[in-house]
Amino acid sequence: MNFKQELAAILYELLNHELTMDELQLSIEKPKNDAHGDLAFPCFTLAKLKRKAPNLIAQELSERVQSPNFEKIEVVGAYINVFLNKKTVSEKMIADLFEQKETYGTLTIGNGGNVTIDMSSPNIAKPFSMGHLRSTVIGNALANIVEKAGYKPIKINHLGDWGTQFGKLIAAFKLWGDTEKIKQNPIKELLKLYIKFHEEAETNPELVDLGRNWFKELEDGNEEALSLWQWFRDESLKEFSKIYQLMHVDFDSFAGEAFYNDKMDRVVELLEEKHLLVESDQAQVVELHEEQLPPCLIKKSDGATLYATRDLAAAIYRKEHYDFDLSLYVVGHEQSLHFQQLKAVLEKMGYGWAKKMVHVPFGMMLKDGKKMSTRKGKVVLLEEVLKESISLAQQNIEEKNPNLVNKDEVANQVGVGAVIFHDLKNFRMNDIEFSMEDMLRFEGETGPYVQYTYARACSILRKGNWHPEDYSKNDHAAWDKEWKVISFLMEFPNAIKRACEQFDPSQVAKYVVNLAQAFNKYYAEVKILEESDEQQARLALVYSVTIVLKEGLRLLGLEAPEEM
Ligand code: ARG
């Protein structure tokens, strides 16, 4: 059911194919002002083509636009405004939702193709930062959205588990490490060691060499180095998985940087074969003059590989292993240059598929207007953030609904949902000000607000003792007060399409807020449960809203409690 398409098809015929279906569909708008109807077609392009006044064309054409789905056609200046037939369209919308349920909004853009999503990707032996939270939340929502659009998502956690920093960490551990302490609190203790190493290295340059040597040992397969590394990695993953469990995020692969160790020689060989490697300051680099980018560092003077080398190997591996249609990298915008270089090198290597790699960047999480960093004292431990949010949600429920049976479960859903929604409601490139208070508000554009609206709708259905089987299409309603809600329900597939095309979950977040607002307004105006001819139709609408809100929340990674 797509009325834009229907209007386009009608115009297409009336205009004897003078404009293409695509052109027509692109130019048909949804008027901002409700008084201008549901669809508007501006006649400016046509006027130029026909060398005629746009308002005249609009007038002539409008007289011939007809469909049982259109109630009224009006001309305002150069615009043909179409008012949909509220009754026919509403009943169709509801019938569609009854039939399709949570599959409503499914698209076929993806054609079943694979989309790899590089997401979360924290660095081991360090706290899980806000940046990694953003990547996790955005990546997870994108995975759900592209899946809804007909792709097959493959979620890859490209763990930062290799690199010179692990040489430093091993050196620090050998000097000052305490096994027992680390076992009790791995991330905190390892971070302490790492920070101490940096502090000491400022006055003791020998430490730098020591760290470098240990990394070399690690790359050469020294057993002691490897087993320490493995231990750091295992402990870190245990910590990270607590966060993933709280957030219900899972991965298809944990192939981190270390996974590509045995795949890097081949990359270097390929680069050599293609005469792309040159020496610069004793290091091996790929020059990117024509691309106007700085050279991409492939191998250091001591033969050690780099972040970029491992990403080259990973990109090739992903293409060979998953044959992706799209390869997304959900990584902060500060790494834009890195991804530009990566793509440029792959294109130089002759890989046309490099065009299918998309860096999906995002802005920073700020606290009091400043970047939240993990290096110095200003660490915000993410697990603590989630737990605090859950406990605030718990207090809230205790005040509002002390008799709720599954309080803990709901507090989890609301607390975690609040954090996720706060992240997703704005376009991802915007910086976000971290505010626990804002996230957890039950009014305004928050996760709890949308969840609460869903729970309220469920409660109406419970009170009305209403079941979808009971609804018969003969229940008549004017569908007048309902119209705003109906027109938002119709918008859902478009929101998904935009989110998928722009890799922008905020399209769905904004959509669910709008739908929730429209529904709450309706709820305030209309006594839904009051006995009347229209009661059944109203409840059918409430039911339809629950389906779409729940599915919208699911796409974003939030659960929808039926009571809260
Ligand atoms: N571990 C990196 C970091 O924390 C992010 C990795 C992103 N993914 C990639 N394929 N480079 O900065």
Boundary residue ending a domain (45, 68, 84): 84
CA of 388 to the centre of ligand 1 (A): 27
CA atoms of 216 and 74, how far apart (whole Å)? 75
Cβ pair 17, 46 in contact under 8 A: no
Ligand 1 pocket, 361 CB below 6 A? no
Ligand 1 pocket, 329 CB below 6 A? yes
Q: Is 135 helix (H, G, I), strand (E, B) or coil?
A: helix
Cβ pair 484, 477 in contact under 8 A: no
CA distance readout (Å), 161 to 123, 232, 302, 322, 439: 6, 9, 20, 22, 32
CA of 158 to the centre of ligand 1 (A): 7
CA of 156 to the centre of ligand 1 (A): 11
Establish how many alpha carbons lie within 13 A of residue 500's alpha carbon, considering only the half-sphere containing its beta carbon. Answer: 26
Q: Which of 129, 132, 158 to mutate to test the pocket of ligand 1 (most atoms within 8 A of CB)?
A: 158
**What is the residue with the minimal CA distance to atom 4 of ligand 1?**
122
Ligand 1 pocket, 123 CB below 6 A? yes
CA atoms of 353 and 114, how far apart (whole Å)? 13
Whether 465 is in a domain gets the answer yes
Cα 394 to chain centroid, rounded: 27
Count up the domains in the chain and report the number: 2
Ligand 1 pocket, 327 CB below 6 A? no
For residue 21 the two structure tokens come to: 């279906």
CA of 559 to the centre of ligand 1 (A): 28
Rg value, the chain, Cα: 28
Ligand 1 pocket, 311 CB below 6 A? yes
Ligand 1 pocket, 120 CB below 6 A? no
Ligand 1 pocket, 38 CB below 6 A? no
CA distance readout (Å), 196 to 70, 203, 229: 72, 12, 18
Whether 470 is in a domain gets the answer yes
Boundary residue ending a domain (30, 55, 84): 84
The answer for residues whose C-beta is within 8 angstroms of residue 134's C-beta and 6 or more apart is: 332, 362, 365, 423, 428, 432
Cα 47 to chain centroid, rounded: 41
Q: Quickly list DSSP for 143-201.
A: HHHHHHTT-EEEEE---B--SHHHHHHHHHHHHH--HHHHHHSHHHHHHHHHHHHHHHH
Ligand 1 pocket, 90 CB below 6 A? no
Amino acid identity at 141: A
CATH of the domain at 550: 1.10.730.10
CA of 159 to the centre of ligand 1 (A): 7
CA atoms of 137 and 135, how far apart (whole Å)? 6
Whether 427 is in a domain gets the answer yes
Residues of the chain with pLDDT under 50: 375-379
Amino acid 548: pLDDT: 98
For residue 396 the two structure tokens come to: 């809230």
CA atoms of 490 and 508, how far apart (whole Å)? 13
Closest CA to 340 of 320, 361, 371: 361
Ligand 1 pocket, 118 CB below 6 A? yes
Ligand 1 atom closest to the CA of 311, numbered from 1: 10
Ligand 1 pocket, 158 CB below 6 A? yes
Ligand 1 pocket, 121 CB below 6 A? yes
CA atoms of 302 and 461, how far apart (whole Å)? 69
Whether 431 is in a domain gets the answer yes
Boundary residue ending a domain (84, 99, 126): 84
The answer for residues whose C-beta is within 8 angstroms of residue 142's C-beta and 6 or more apart is: 117, 119, 153, 328, 330, 360, 503, 505
Ligand 1 atom closest to the CA of 331, numbered from 1: 7
The answer for residues whose C-beta is within 8 angstroms of residue 522's C-beta and 6 or more apart is: 481, 482, 484, 485, 541
Complex ipTM value = 0.99
Whether 9 is in a domain gets the answer yes
Ligand 1 pocket, 159 CB below 6 A? no
CA atoms of 90 and 538, how far apart (whole Å)? 11
Strand 39-42 to 79-84 pairing: antiparallel
The answer for residues whose C-beta is within 8 angstroms of residue 513's C-beta and 6 or more apart is: 425, 445, 449, 450
Closest CA to 162 of 263, 281, 272: 263
User: Is the CA virtual torsion 405, 408, 410, 414 positive or negative?
Assistant: positive
CA of 123 to the centre of ligand 1 (A): 8
CA of 373 to the centre of ligand 1 (A): 16
CA of 192 to the centre of ligand 1 (A): 22
Q: Helices 86-100 & 483-501, crossing angle to 10 degrees?
A: 60
**What is the residue with the minimal CA distance to atom 6 of ligand 1?**
121
Ligand 1 atom closest to the CA of 159, numbered from 1: 1
Ligand 1 atom closest to the CA of 339, numbered from 1: 11
CA of 122 to the centre of ligand 1 (A): 7
For residue 362 the two structure tokens come to: 């995002």
> Which position has the token pair 């530009």?
340
CA of 341 to the centre of ligand 1 (A): 14
CA atoms of 398 and 315, how far apart (whole Å)? 49
User: What spatial distance separates the first Cα and last Cα of the chain, rounded to whole Å?
Assistant: 34
CATH of the domain at 22: 3.30.1360.70
Strand partners, 123: 160
Amino acid 478: pLDDT: 85
The model's pTM: 0.93
Within 10 angstroms of residue 187's Cβ, the number of other Cβ atoms is 22
**What is the residue with the minimal CA distance to atom 5 of ligand 1?**
121
Q: Provide the domain limits for residue 74.
A: 3-84
The answer for residues whose C-beta is within 8 angstroms of residue 498's C-beta and 6 or more apart is: 504, 507
Closest CA to 143 of 123, 122, 163, 120: 120
Whether 468 is in a domain gets the answer yes
Q: Is 299 helix (H, G, I), strand (E, B) or coil?
A: strand
Q: Helices 382-400 & 223-247, crossing angle to 10 degrees?
A: 20
29: left (phi over 0), alpha (psi -120 to 50) or beta: beta
Angle 518-520-524 from CA coordinates, rounded to 5°: 115
Whether 15 is in a domain gets the answer yes
Whether 456 is in a domain gets the answer yes
What are the pLDDT digits (tens) for 218-266?
988 999 999 999 999 999 999 999 999 999 999 999 999 999 999 999 9
Q: Which of 306, 331, 343, 374 to mutate to test the pocket of ligand 1 (most atoms within 8 A of CB)?
A: 331
